[in-house]
Structure 1
Amino acid sequence: MKKFILFDLDGTLLDMSFDKFINNYFGLLLPFLSKKIKGDIKRYVFESTDFMINKIDKRTNMEKFLSKFSELSGTEKSIIYNSFIDFYTHEFPKLSFLGRPKPYAKETILKLKESGVGIVLATNAIFPLLAIEERLKWADLEATLFDLITHMENMHSAKPHKEYYLEIMKKLKVEPEEVIMIGDDIERDIMPARILGIDSYQIDRDIEI
């Protein structure tokens, strides 16, 4: 019996061009952070994100990101953290024009919840909860619809590593056969989950919402 269904966000519940998002994201982020942080900020972000994704240890993803960013930039972790939180609070919402709800996504989730199935937002845990909740608004979805939302403050691993899915199942106290994963990316959403024995379906290929 399936107890939980895991949904990816971008490309699954939220219709958004990744390339346009990244270009506009850095267009806002770089000038904002440069007020308090000096140096090659874009490189710091990419290298810190790569470190966060591929270094799996007892630290949260946020802790790993801040540690690497601080090492690269010579900036105190508290300054980095507060700068990013200020950005996601005041600037990030300006990118809402880039995203729109996927047809039938909310309707599908509501019907599943009515059936008693738990719903997890299994978006890659490389953003803080604040940023994910903002992107959920773009998808016309409320955070309260989900039994668990993965983000960089509550996860110690990230896609495409199988440890990300193992960590989710540990939090939910379920086995692979009790979970379904639905996403749009074969390498991040589908293959790592299938390796663990999780039934996984790719949007627009195996399934439509």
Structure 2
Amino acid sequence: MTDLKKKSERTRNRLLTAACRIFAEKGFQEATIAEICEQAQTNIASVNYHFRDKETLYLESWRFAFTHELTRHPPDGGVAGDAAPEQRLAGRIYSLIQRVADRDGYSFAIMHKEMARPTRLLADILEKEIDPQRRQLFGLLRECLGHAADDRHLQYCHDSIMGQCFQLLRLKQIQHVRPQPSPSADLSDIQAYADHVVQFSLAGIEAIRTHTHN
């Protein structure tokens, strides 16, 4: 790679990194290209060159954040593919919580802002990138619950797990506004929170499995 190409790639990555942070903090509507360029230490011409427009930068910054988070926290949580389904489910929960809690992770915060004020811009990319993760989680839940459980049980268990994980987004927002953590917004021990979510979820799944098999 030539020096010119290396410089161009560094500029592109700075833009994506800055865009992730600003879109996560402000959402698409409130974020400005000027602010992104200021943080990236570049100019609007660079945005036009690399992304053409704000909409494309929004899409690519989410993909950039999501890819980096999966690299840092693989979705299987480091659990072997031949492990018991409960262990594999625990690995996925740990990975998800680590990604949500990651101070350098922005994809979930961008999604949260998108749900609050939809642009519809992320719809296709979310379906393409998130749906495979969702299907794998549903498959694990099916293994853990047993085939006596119906689709409603699967959906409720999925929503319960995701709700506990996404609660961290609210806690991160509280901590951003109020740096001194309160007991209800303490992110100092993510491992303890993750252990609780895993234990609580597996116990609930076992209770449902027992009930549906009786």
Q: Which range, TM-score by smaller chain?
A: 0.3 to 0.5
Does 1 or 2 have the higher relative contact order (CA < 8 Å, sep 6+)? 1
Larger radius of gyration: 2
